Structure 1
């Protein structure tokens, strides 16, 4: 079968298309013929060995797929790796049946990025109607969904941060009440201006580094900052307990895998997301579907911040 392999660690240039042996499922696995493989920012960390330092080469990246099982079920599934391929062996408990009214691309976008956005707001931030929400990277895969889900959850005001005029315009089209240029050195001051000095109740941040520091600075009393990524590859300055107590703020982290420890939580998120999509209350933004052989170009575009919404690989091309 055709697959994308990493045979040496590095940047996008290490992604190569190769012919490899088909996976052989164990008794606890099912084989999925892949239609689309999802591209996530986390995949770029894997190729650079900034995550999973014990990973052995060669490896096929990719943590989410949509396709069909051998018995004909149309499913979406997450995998530890191996998604950038024509076929993948999946733990038998992982495939999720896709409703007929939900297309493959939307199902792929909702599986990881949609559930992440939903859980950030409803589980980690515990959003309440009327609260204000600042979404960093608001035109990205998670951010574009989080903007809409915050509106659907009754947020009093949704502020979208993004680095280009086109991305900020997209966020407005998705329902953001205001936008802020995330590249401004005085970003925190800009947010305070938009909120008339009151700050925000919830910040969703996947950037790390300086953006996280400024995100903390704009929290209103009792505000919550949820960190779910480190796209800048830079750790934010440490935060001490006295600083948090100054305005009773909370800083917390989120990794999707931990949601699997609560039975039914991911299923609840997906049911609501599917319902929002089928009723056209939630729009999945397609940032590009690349042929399998162009995985390198997809990673280059993603790392250069040239993309919006969800990216995918079409394994048949």
Structure 2
């Protein structure tokens, strides 16, 4: 089978087309003929060796797969890798059947990004109706869904931050009440102004570095800053306990991979997400499709911030 393999760490240039033997399923695994695989920002961290955990070299990246089983069922699932290929193995416990009414790109957007957005708001931020929510990088895969889910979950005001006017307009089209620049300089002032002069209840941040520091300053009493990535590749300043106590603040970390080991963290949220999409209340943004042979270009576009929404590879 054709696959994309990483045999050394680096930029998009390390993504190499190869021919590999077809995978053989073991106990509790599902073999899938891949129709599409999702591309995530985390995949670029895997490629350069900066991810929180990395598999042994060489490896085939790609944790999100949608395709058909040998008996014709349309399924998608999450794995520890292997999705950038014509065939892939999925753990049965992290595989679900997909309604035919939902497209491949839409469905894949609900795996890592959709589940992350759901858990960021429900599990980590513990959002309650009427609260204000700031979504950083709101035009991205997680951000575009988090904006919509925050509205669906009853947020009183959703403030989107994005790097360009076009991306800010997309966030507004998806339901954000206000969209502002996500630049660290003046961030807290812009966000507070967008919230009617009041500090905010929740910030979802995958940027880190100076943006994380500025987001912390925008939090109001009992505010929660949920950190789930470091797209800036910069490290935020340490948060001293006294700074938390001053406004009863919380800084919460979230990483989907270990969360899915907890019972009930996978299928039930996906069921709700399927229902929201089918009802037209949530619209996953599919940002672009690339042939498997052009995986390198997909990573280049993602790193250059030329993309919005979900990117997928066609096997």
TM-score, normalised by the number of residues in structure 2: 0.97
1:216 partnered with 2:224: no
Q: Cα offset for 1:185?
A: 1.5
Whether the aligned pair in 1 keeps the contact of 2:202 and 2:219 (CA below 8 Å) is yes
| Aligned pairs (5 A) from 1:40-55 | 40-51=40-51, 55=55
Secondary structure of the 2:266 match is helix
Q: Cα offset for 1:182?
A: 0.9
1:262 partnered with 2:262: yes
Whether the aligned pair in 1 keeps the contact of 2:105 and 2:311 (CA below 8 Å) is no
Give the equivalent residue in structure 2 for 1:239. 239
Q: Cα offset for 1:264?
A: 1.8
1:20 partnered with 2:15: no
1:57 partnered with 2:57: yes
Give the equivalent residue in structure 2 for 1:86. 86
Whether the aligned pair in 1 keeps the contact of 2:65 and 2:78 (CA below 8 Å) is yes
Q: Cα offset for 1:53?
A: 5.9
**CA distance in structure 2 between the aligned counterparts of 1:153 and 1:127, rounded to whole angstroms:** 8
Give the equivalent residue in structure 1 for 2:283. 283
Change in 2 beyond 3 A, CA 1:197/1:52: closer
**CA distance in structure 2 between the aligned counterparts of 1:52 and 1:135, rounded to whole angstroms:** 23
Give the equivalent residue in structure 2 for 1:116. 116
TM-score, normalised by the number of residues in structure 1: 0.96
Q: Cα offset for 1:184?
A: 5.4
**CA distance in structure 1 between the aligned counterparts of 2:54 and 2:130, rounded to whole angstroms:** 45
**CA distance in structure 1 between the aligned counterparts of 2:104 and 2:115, rounded to whole angstroms:** 16
Secondary structure of the 1:55 match is coil
Give the equivalent residue in structure 2 for 1:130. 130
Give the equivalent residue in structure 2 for 1:226. 226
Secondary structure of the 1:139 match is coil
TM-align CA RMSD: 1.3
1:102 partnered with 2:76: no
Q: Cα offset for 1:7?
A: 1.8
Q: Cα offset for 1:189?
A: 1.4
Q: Deviation per CA, 1:86-130, whole angstroms, max 9, x where unpaired?
A: 001222322111123222221111011101101110111111111
Secondary structure of the 2:306 match is coil
**CA distance in structure 2 between the aligned counterparts of 1:209 and 1:54, rounded to whole angstroms:** 22
Q: Cα offset for 1:271?
A: 1.1
Give the equivalent residue in structure 2 for 1:314. 314
**CA distance in structure 1 between the aligned counterparts of 2:264 and 2:91, rounded to whole angstroms:** 17
Give the ranges of 4+ consecutive aligned residues of structure 1 lying more than 3 Å apart after TM superposition. none
Change in 2 beyond 3 A, CA 1:232/1:87: same
Give the equivalent residue in structure 2 for 1:143. 143
**CA distance in structure 1 between the aligned counterparts of 2:109 and 2:226, rounded to whole angstroms:** 21
Q: Deviation per CA, 1:47-103, whole angstroms, max 9, x where unpaired?
A: 101126663222111111000111211101111011100001222322111123222
Q: Single out whichever of 112-121 and 178-187 deviates more from structure 2.
A: 178-187
Whether the aligned pair in 1 keeps the contact of 2:184 and 2:214 (CA below 8 Å) is no
**CA distance in structure 2 between the aligned counterparts of 1:52 and 1:157, rounded to whole angstroms:** 33
Change in 2 beyond 3 A, CA 1:184/1:256: closer
Change in 2 beyond 3 A, CA 1:52/1:195: closer
Give ranges in structure 1 of 5+ residues lacking alignment. none
Give the equivalent residue in structure 2 for 1:199. 199
